Amino acid sequence: MSNPIPPGHEPQCHDFQAGAKKALDNKVLQALLERTLKSGFQQRRLNAKARLPEYDQLRDQARDLKNHVLDNLDVYLERFEAQLTKAGGHVHWAKDAAHAREIILKICQDAGAKTVSKGKSMIGEEIALNDFLDANGVVPIETDLGEYIIQLRHELPSHIIAPAFHLSKEQVGETFKEHHTHLDQDRDLSEPSVLLGEARAELRDKFLRADVGITGANILIAETGTAMIVTNEGNGDLTQSLPPVHIALTSIEKVVPTLEDATLILRLLARTATGQEQTVYNTFFTGPKRQGDLDGPEAFHVVLLDNGRTDLLGSEFRDVLRCIRCGACINHCPVYAVTSGHAYGWVYPGPIGAVLSPHFVGLDEAHLLPSASTLCGRCEEVCPVHIPLPDLLRHWRTRGFAAKKGGKMQRLGLALWAQLARRPGLYHAVMALGVNGLKLMGGKRGAFKSLLGAGGWTKTRDLPTPQGGTFQARYRKGER
């Protein structure tokens, strides 16, 4: 299931507790999260939704569309391949991450590439492309501002649509000063627009020198053989049109039948992700530069990554393949809102990450993630394609339980509880005893400040004491 991952990219999902603790202790990060999630992403989505009365209808349509595609995935992928080939492009089928990396390296090497410019691509993160290219003599340059920042810092993205979401502008300024050493160290970088300008100036030159451009693709359109991306910075356009070779790296579930279908996804995607009516740049690529075209690449490749997605298709996790990577589930997750993305230990954080990571990196590594959720259901509520994320998390918990993951004590406790609870007579007697004991310990206090055996509960909050007597015992004695 998991692919050979280049050194330095080992997932750290098993360390969720420590990662979460680190985030909780980081005051800057906590302030940032509080400011940017509720009044930022959440509010903007609500506003956008309010401006589009048919928003909920579109969600149902998108769910149905995606289900239809998943039922006929082979048909649409083959149609896409045929159409793109007709337009002069090349389609490469990559069965896993290692395969995709090899395909891309080969294209780069055949083009004699020394540097590649990259648009933001989560699939690029999924296959850990940058370090691999670097190790093989091809220097990757991220052109999306967020990706560029985390590339400088050698970090994973902390959010699928905002990779540097965990950083304040002050921290970005420090990173720039550390890396752009040729510039005046005392320059004022307090304004976000100045940061953007500096990144642009640094990147512009590299755009021009790149031999190959690699982007993601948000949607593949079968009827025309078109790949398309959305960006807010326009870097995707430059990445695909300036270098002589363009590679769009994407995954198989991104295909839709028609252009019309693509617009349905686009209408939902921008509103749900950022609250925009439309993302600023919507770029469609259909093959390489044709005769008479003013610009565009000489060669156009699409790498279609499977990486276990066809296994998901036949599993209880099938619904997750509808995902359009909008990030709304992340933006509304109470756990993510205090842990941020890095605690999840791999490229996809939040609820969608907790469903995807066990699949990609294995349950041994990632079994903590599905349990690190309150199952509050807000993710499912906001998901534009109605993915039942809490159910999918529960499915992983079921698999984890069957594979004996999770604490021994918890397993033992559950087994005992179940044994007891199926014997009502014994249960009520034992509970009455236990409750009376606790009540005795609590005395007149309404809550325990600490209690042995209460897990970590009393570390962070008091534990209310029982009122006294079980309901059943009191009711049987005639109390009403």
Smallest gap from Cβ 65 to ligand SF4, in A, equals 13
Is 136 a binding residue for other proteins by CB under 8 A? The answer is no
Is 95 a binding residue for other proteins by CB under 8 A? The answer is no
Is 326 a binding residue for ligand SF4 by CB under 6 A? The answer is yes
Is 303 a binding residue for ligand SF4 by CB under 6 A? The answer is no
Angle between helix axes 169-179 and 145-153 (nearest 10 degrees) is: 60
Contact 326, 161 (CB under 8 A): yes
User: Comparing C-alpha atoms, which of 188, 185, 156, 154 is closest to residue 169?
Assistant: 188
* Encoded tokens for 127: 């296959």
Which of 228, 229, 387, 392 is in the footprint of ligand SF4 by CB under 6 A? 387
In terms of residues, how long is the chain?
A: 480
Beta carbon nearer to ligand SF4, 328 or 343: 328
Is 284 a binding residue for other proteins by CB under 8 A? The answer is no
- Site map 409..438 versus ligand SF4, x via CB under 6 A: ------------------------------
Q: Which residues of 318-339 are buried (b: 16+ CB within 10 A; e: fewer)?
A: ebbbbbbbbbbbbbbbebbbbb
Is 323 a binding residue for ligand SF4 by CB under 6 A? The answer is yes
- Site map 24..43 versus ligand SF4, x via CB under 6 A: --------------------
Beta carbon nearer to ligand SF4, 218 or 465: 218
Task: Identify residues 365-384 at the interface with ligand SF4 (CB under 6 A).
Answer: 382-384
- Residue written as tokens 């509880």? 417
Decide which of other proteins, ligand SF4, none touches 323; Cβ closer than 5 to 8 Å per partner kind: ligand SF4
Is 417 a binding residue for other proteins by CB under 8 A? The answer is yes
Is 456 a binding residue for other proteins by CB under 8 A? The answer is yes
CB proximity list for 66: less than 8 A, separation 6 or greater:
321, 322, 324, 385
Query: How do beta strands 90-94 and 299-305 pair?
Result: parallel
Is 17 a binding residue for other proteins by CB under 8 A? The answer is yes
> Residue 284, class by beta-carbon neighbours within 10 Å (0-12 exposed, 13-18 middle, 19+ buried)?
middle
Rounded CA gap, 305 and 249, in Å?
A: 8
Segment interacting with other proteins (CB under 8 A) among 68-76, 238-246, 258-266, 412-420: 412-420
Decide which of ligand SF4, other proteins, none touches 397; Cβ closer than 5 to 8 Å per partner kind: other proteins
Decide which of other proteins, ligand SF4, none touches 428; Cβ closer than 5 to 8 Å per partner kind: other proteins
Taking CA atoms, 138 is separated from 133, 211, 305, in Å, by 5, 10, 21
Smallest gap from Cβ 473 to other proteins, in A, equals 9
Rounded CA gap, 164 and 158, in Å?
A: 6
- Site map 348..367 versus ligand SF4, x via CB under 6 A: ----x---------------
* Encoded tokens for 349: 């954080």
Beta carbon nearer to other proteins, 310 or 458: 458
User: Comparing C-alpha atoms, which of 170, 166, 126, 131 is closest to residue 146?
Assistant: 166
- Residue written as tokens 């406790």? 413
Decide which of other proteins, ligand SF4, none touches 267; Cβ closer than 5 to 8 Å per partner kind: none
- Interacting residues toward ligand SF4 by CB under 6 A: 323-329, 352, 382-385, 387
